[in-house]
């Protein structure tokens, strides 16, 4: 059941509080907090809030390790880069150590090489053997108005991936190849937040949360953590068509 907030500011305050709570619990248990960030525009305000006076001193950022749920196949200084958005709004303001940030190295020419390199980075960091998946303490996700999440777009090959952690994914309608974590990697997380705002998402959110299960058409429906917690966080505009929701 989604948590619905009157506006993005209140949604982000809730998300920031939970981010800090989950992070401090993780650091207490294992001396580190691993989080995969979402791209797009919605999370930008959350990143700025986490870097603000209100939250920046509430967690030991040197124990926080940042990954990305997906990336566009552009250079890190490109306006479309998810890394650039997080760098400008979170890493630079908080002076995060470079060694705490694991981005997709899109300088490589070939998308498959970028994905393979990122997968190796993740396996090394989480000390995984072949066939094992990372257990991120938190994964932040957005949802497109077509029901995609990360770069898992409707009717694309990556939706069917069951063995890999990170893959390249050809997205015909965008005429590009994207880079994305796979559902097995996402669904192995301890906690997953969906951050959804705006009336333009209301139809899709109703389909995803209250419609028939059609995960090829609405990939966000396939985010079902195996044992972790799933939080759908929405503003009232995106939730306006929902029948079952918890209003905050």
Q: Which of 15, 35, 38, 171 binds ligand 6PG (CB under 6 A)?
A: 38
Q: Does 149 help bind ligand 6PG (rule: CB under 6 A)?
A: yes
Q: Which of 2, 144, 147, 154 binds ligand 6PG (CB under 6 A)?
A: 144
Instruction: Please spell the DSSP secondary structure of 15-75, one letter per residue.
Output: HHHHHHHHHHHHHHHHS-EEEEEP-SSTHHHHHHHHTSTTTTTSS-GGGEEEEESEE-SS-
Q: Between 59 and 221, name the residue whose CB sits nearer to ligand 6PG.
A: 221
Q: What does the per-residue mask of binding to ligand 6PG show for 150-189, with x meaning CB under 6 A?
A: xx--------------------------------------
Q: CB of 207: closest distance to ligand 6PG in angstroms?
A: 15
Angstrom distance (rounded) from CA 114 to CA 108:
6
Q: CB of 9: closest distance to ligand 6PG in angstroms?
A: 16
Angstrom distance (rounded) from CA 117 to CA 141:
22
Q: What does the per-residue mask of binding to ligand 6PG show for 186-205, with x meaning CB under 6 A?
A: --------------------
Closest by Cα among 232, 218, 149 to 185:
149
Largest CA distance in the chain: 46
Exposed / middle / buried, residue 122 (Cβ in 10 Å: 0-12, 13-18, 19+) = buried
42: β partners: none
Q: CB of 93: closest distance to ligand 6PG in angstroms?
A: 20
Q: CB of 17: closest distance to ligand 6PG in angstroms?
A: 20
196 φ/ψ sector (left φ>0, alpha ψ -120 to 50, else beta):
beta
Query: Hey, which residues between 65 and 124 contact ligand 6PG (CB under 6 A)?
Result: 69-70, 82
For residue 128, the 8-state DSSP code is: P
Stretch that binds ligand 6PG, among 47-55, 106-114, 142-150, 154-162 (CB under 6 A): 142-150
Angstrom distance (rounded) from CA 137 to CA 27:
10
Q: CB of 34: closest distance to ligand 6PG in angstroms?
A: 18
Q: Between 26 and 140, name the residue whose CB sits nearer to ligand 6PG.
A: 140
> Which residue of the chain is nearest ligand 6PG when measured via CB?
142
Whether the CB-CB separation of 154 and 217 falls below 8 Å is answered with yes
Binding-site ranges for ligand 6PG (CB under 6 A): 38-42, 69-70, 82, 142-144, 148-151
């Amino acid at each position: 059941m989604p948590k619905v907030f009157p506006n993005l500011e209140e949604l982000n305050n809730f998300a920031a509080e939970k981010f800090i709570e989950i992070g401090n619990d993780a650091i207490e248990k294992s001396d580190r907090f691993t989080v995969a960030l979402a791209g797009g525009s919605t999370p930008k305000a959350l990143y700025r809030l986490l870097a603000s006076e209100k939250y920046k001193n509430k967690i030991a950022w040197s124990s926080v390790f940042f990954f990305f749920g997906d990336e566009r196949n552009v250079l890190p200084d490109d306006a479309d880069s998810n890394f650039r958005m997080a760098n400008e709004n979170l890493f630079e303001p908080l002076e995060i150590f470079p060694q705490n940030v694991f981005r997709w190295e899109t300088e490589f020419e070939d998308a498959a090489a970028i994905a393979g390199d990122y997968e190796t980075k993740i396996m090394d960091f989480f000390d995984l053997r072949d066939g094992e998946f990372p257990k991120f303490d938190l994964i932040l996700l957005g949802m497109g108005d077509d029901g995609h999440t990360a770069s898992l777009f409707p009717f694309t090959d990556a939706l069917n991936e069951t063995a890999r952690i990170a893959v390249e994914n050809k997205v015909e309608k965008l005429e590009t190849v994207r880079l994305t974590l796979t559902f097995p990697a996402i669904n192995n997380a301890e906690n997953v937040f969906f951050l959804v705002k705006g009336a333009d998402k209301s139809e899709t959110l109703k389909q995803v949360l209250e419609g028939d299960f059609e995960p090829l058409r609405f990939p966000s429906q396939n985010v079902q953590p195996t044992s972790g917690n799933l939080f759908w966080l929405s503003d009232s505009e995106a939730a306006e068509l929902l029948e079952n929701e918890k209003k905050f």
